[in-house]
Structure 1
Amino acid sequence: MELGKLLERLEYSCEAGDMDVLVGAVRYDTREIETGDLFVCIKGNRADSHDLIGEIVSRGAKVIVAERTVRVPAGITVIQVSDSRYALALISASYFDYPAEKMKLIGVTGTKGKTTVAYMLREMLKKAGYKTGLMGTIVTAVGDEEQAAGNTTPESYLIQELLAQMVEAGCQYVVMEVSSQGLKLQRTAGIVFDIGIFTNLGPDHIGPAEHKDFAEYAQCKSRLFRQCLVGVMNGDDEYLDLILQGHTCEVVTYGMGLKNAYTASDLMLYQEDGVPGIQFQVSGRLEARMQVDIPGKFSVYNAMAAIAACAQLGLPADVMGSALRTVKVKGRVEVVPGPWDFTVLIDYAHNAMSLESLLTTLREYKPHRLVCLFGCGGNRSKLRRYEMGEMSGKLSDFTVITSDNPRYEKPEEIIADIRTGMEKTDGAYIEIPDRREAIAWALRHGQKGDILILAGKGHEDYQEICGVKYPMDERVIIREMIQQKK
């Protein structure tokens, strides 16, 4: 491919070599370089490929894109840019012939709800007869072909490669979870979303490896609304004005406040065969009664985000309603069936904000007891452990404290931190470090009418210990326990 074609939407200067070059492929990983490739140097958290020019050239790269001065042998072309991550995004888009412009794209950002909203959107679009791609936390899907996802928002080159596959497969729509980290690292740069969705904002992902503070976190989230045509926004969120700073899109709001374009009201809880759900009325630009088999007020907000977006796209209310009755999201208030007279749920809640929302919601269904089993990740904030312990102690009738992903910490030390928060409350609890044993104990001691929530792992099917990911899928564990009892 011609170098000039790859750079056509990018501001750059040629600092060495010739522009009249044909490029074999675009690379950003030194291990993948082949003779004749273009290589984009990126500064990461652990390494900076600007420092590996000798290796890059020896492997055969003939064009190097860099954001700082590099020295190269004669015959190598150097393209200077201000931001090499931004450059990788635009070069990758050109390399794959701008696939995003051949489909309609919906991007979803927010602290909570991205995955559920994305699944709801995908289900609605599929029910309406559209072939739909999905990029998200749990899976990447090209039509009905699914594979496990890596990052919530992949590297820009991988995004463009996946979008090209979706074009090739005949997809008409793509739903993408857009993380703050993905926006910060320019992974979606150059993409214009037809619709951008904002679910909510709360303090999370703040730390040395993510965002330095809440202000930066919010600013990164807000970038989506400078690269979409229509912003479908949670009009009830206290940080809406912060997210809308500098926006360039048309704004459409949803929520429970009457000022919103799409309003939810008359909420009614229900429970059928142990599955908790909620009904609600949609008013404003759409009039319809909706029902979703996922519990709680936050499920109404998630559903309203999807409803407002799809209504903007012209989908009929009956199609959206049908989709909401059938959508299931792995690890998001997921019901696990079994031979017991209580309800077992799996959820990804792994911080105090999510746990509070989840437990408060489940309490509304008036269980005999609300039992919460959870742990906290190793090599992460101790404050999160204190807060989650205190939250479960306040809102649960009983807590089973166990392991999550201990990583390089001892599970007992993590549990001790959780206990510090728990002991600020009068909550009853037991400590069982082995998560499999903890689940078995909780199932044996379940009482009629209980709601047992296994929190923290959600869709994950592994447990990370000392750098190794061991298989651990809570659904599989529960099935095995059921079989052992037969």
Structure 2
Amino acid sequence: MTTLTQLAGALPGAQCFGEATLTGLEYDSRAVAAGALFVAVVGERFDGHNFLADVVARGAAALVVERAEAVPAGVPYLLVKSCREALAPLACAFWGNPTERLNLAGVTGTNGKTSTMRLMDAIARAAGETTGTIGTLGATVGETALPHDRTTPESPDLQRLFAEMLAAGATSATMEVASHALVMGRTAGCTFDIAAFTNLTQDHLDFHKTMEAYEAAKGMLFRDYAPRVAVLNTDDAAGARYAASNTAQQTLTYSPSGQAGADIWPVDVQLAVDSLRFTAKTPLGDVVVRLGFGGTFQIGNVLAAIGYGVARGFSPETIAAGLAACPPVPGRFHPVQAGQDFAVLVDYAHTPDGVENVLKAARPLTPGRLITVFGCGGDRDRTKRPIMGRLARELSDIAIATSDNPRTEDPERILDDVTAGMAPPAPTSEGAQVYREVNRRKAIALAVGMAKQGDTIVIAGKGHEDYQIIGHTKHPFSDQDVAREEIEKCLSH
């Protein structure tokens, strides 16, 4: 059991009024149960102070507030300057600072976080460790799924997950670290043994406003958390800057392009739709890479994971075994086969760089035409939409713009933004045939219907997602399932 005064010790300057024994820590009023400490976070849409009477009625034993006058009479509370800033230290203290007893690796970057994290996890498993993961696809400990709904959860959820991993016998964990999470302090209090960087390209400017601010946010992982080892992609300009200025005890660099001076780089690369083979040069010796899924963009992810293995001191043979055992990451360059004589690849690419990478990876594997189905999410960075439209037009033979997750935006307005970048600059300029179909199923059906032997269809944007967000509602929708259904329809005619 934890008491209010014990938790107050984690917050210098906090004033404690009363005492309570606490059995839980919550920031969402709807989740409060008897014995909980409720932290009244002030957010963009909701102010936790407006729900204090409700959480007390639900059984909250104590409160953390910024305004003492809002506290119902007789309820113990902590008075702090910022509930948002207090949340992470309270969570770490409540769950006993679990990352101090886990070997924790964090991966940040615009693209590749999920794949890199999964590859790292596979390497740790090959070394005989019980592991945990937290990221876009959910959380796991060993073979058990631990559900959550954010790439990087809020600090109480994050620390609870780490505590559950420890209780299940985990000795190491890997996690995706989103830029939002760093800025909002969700990871505050975490002890990172290893921090890795994949790349930095345009995304989330609705939140960060500028690329400079976005880079600074990612850089917090290497500047503010003082990891033992930083693993950095120095092909990327931001990675080179992080390498020149970080607080890690050791820096390992990798270069997907094989630039001189990097600690880790690839040679003898062999690519296929469903495989990737090369030899990685490392400070510990050669690592023979035999991966069961493809994509040139995966080279960087694999090198980052190898950097993790090197930082952990694993042998080249253990690293290679882990990579070979790693299953394909759902929704990343994922082949869909239903008996057709053309290729279909589903990918999570939802940024300009992501779209460019996946199309450039698919092109050399395509003897026929490259057909791209893609969209852009609503209520997100609008400035990337015409860029993605231009890239789809320039790098495809046929480009079909459609809806992604429109959320509360008008899907047609989103497509207006996208197709603004798809107009040819001159009547004679080269580029893809361009189509616009707001209904995503119809867009996929259109692509399948026009595909011929040797063509490749890339369906970009949603990847592993099994839903489409329209308004505030998640409707069942899987690109993989829909593609398979539309292929089967065509084959049955």
TM-score, length-scaled by structure 2: 0.90
Report the AA paired with residue 332 of structure 2: R
Tell me how far apart the structure 1 counterparts of residues 333 and 435 of structure 2 sit (CA, whole Å).
23
Is 2:229 the counterpart of 1:224?
Answer: no
Kept after mapping to 2: 8 A contact 1:282/1:289: no
**Residue of 455, 465, 470 corresponding to 1:460:** 465
Q: How does 1:299-378 map to 2 (within 5 A)?
A: 299-327=298-326, 328-365=328-365, 367-378=367-378
How much has 1:303 moved relative to structure 2?
0.3
Contact 1:275-1:343 at 8 Å conserved across structures: no
Aligned to 1:4: 5
Partners of 2:240 and 2:488 in 1: CA distance: 53
SS at match of 1:289: strand
CA deviation digits over 1:260-311, x for unaligned, max 9?
22222x242333xx53534243244432332334434421111000001112
Letter in structure 2 aligned against 1:183: L
Distance 1:113 1:340 in 2: 29
Name 2:235's counterpart in structure 1: 236
State the partner residue of 2:169: 170
1:270, 1:74 → 2: CA distance?
A: 68
Contact 2:387 2:421 in 1 (8 A): yes
Query: Are residue 402 (structure 1) and residue 407 (structure 2) matched?
Result: no
1:214 aligns with 2:215: no
Partners of 1:420 and 1:73 lie apart in 2 by 55
Structure 1 stretches lacking a partner, 5+ long: none
Q: Relative to 1, partners in 2 of residues 1:410 and 1:246: Cα closer, same or farther, differing over 3 Å? A: same
Q: Give the 3 Å change call, closer, same or farther, for CA 23–414 of structure 1 in structure 2.
A: closer
Q: Which residue does the alignment assign to 1:413?
A: 413
Alignment match, 1:446: 451
1:193-212 superposed matches below 5 A? 193-207=192-206, 210-212=207-209
Instruction: Tell me whether 1:262 sits opposite 2:269 in the alignment.
Output: no
1:313-342 C-alpha deviation (Å, 9 max, x unpaired): 122222322332343101111112231222
Q: CA deviation at 1:67?
A: 4.2
Q: Assess, with a 3 A threshold, how the Cα gap between structure 1 residues 472 and 35 changes in structure 2: closer, same or farther.
A: closer
**Taking structure 1 as reference, are residues 424 and 7 closer, same or farther at Cα in structure 2, changes over 3 Å only?**
farther
Q: What TM-score comes out, normalization by structure 1 length?
A: 0.91
Q: Is 2:480 the partner of 1:478?
A: no
Cα separation, partners in 2 of 1:378 and 1:48, compared to 1, 3 Å: same
Question: Deviation per CA, 1:192-230, whole angstroms, max 9, x where unpaired?
Answer: 0111111111221111xx223323322221222232222
The AA in structure 1 aligned to 2:259 is G
SS in 1 for 2:22: coil
How far apart, CA to CA, are the structure 1 residues paired with 2:450 and 2:322? 36
Q: Kindly state the Cα deviation for residue 147 of structure 1 after the two structures are TM-superposed.
A: 5.0
Distance of 2:289 and 2:281 partners within structure 1: 7
Note if 1:33 corresponds to 2:32.
yes
Query: Structure 1's 416 and 455: CA in aligned 2 closer, same or farther, altered over 3 A?
Result: same
- How many residues get paired? 479
Partner SS state of residue 383, structure 1: coil
What letter corresponds to residue 463 of structure 2 in structure 1? G
SS at match of 1:430: strand
Amino acid in the other structure paired with 1:347: D
State the distance in 2 between where 1:11 and 1:233 align.
Answer: 35
Would the aligned equivalents of 1:386 and 1:419 in 2 still touch at CA under 8 Å?
yes
Partner of 2:157: 158
Q: Which of 436, 444, 449 in structure 2 is aligned with 1:431?
A: 436
Deviation at 1:60, TM superposition (A): 4.6
Contact 1:385 1:417 in 2 (8 A): yes
Matches within 5 A, 1:121-136: 121-136=120-135
- Once residues 232 and 26 of structure 1 are traced to their aligned partners in structure 2, the CA distance between those partners, rounded to angstroms, is 34
Please give the alpha-carbon distance, in whole angstroms, between the structure 2 residues aligned to 1:52 and 1:159: 23
CA deviation after TM superposition for structure 1 residue 343, in Å: 1.8
2:263 aligned partner, one-letter code: A
| Inter-CA distance 85–381: structure 2 relative to 1 (3 Å threshold) | closer
Deviation at 1:372, TM superposition (A): 0.8
* Amino-acid identity (%): 34
Q: 1:237 to 1:156 in 2, by over 3 A?
A: same
Aligned to 2:75: 76
Q: Give how far 1:350 is off.
A: 1.2
Contact 1:26–1:38 (8 Å) recurs in 2: yes
Structure 1 segment 2-151 matched on structure 2, within 5 A: 2-14=3-15, 17-18=17-18, 20-34=19-33, 36-57=35-56, 59-67=58-66, 70-147=69-146, 149-151=148-150
**2: CA distance, partners of 1:361 / 1:482:** 23
Contact residue 278 and residue 296 of structure 1 kept, 8 A: no
Structure 2: 5+ residue runs without aligned partners?
Answer: 426-430
CA contact (8 A) 1:136 1:152 kept: yes
The residue identity in structure 1 corresponding to 2:220 is R
Distance 2:412 2:17 in 1: 59
Structure-2 separation of matches of 1:410 and 1:340: 35
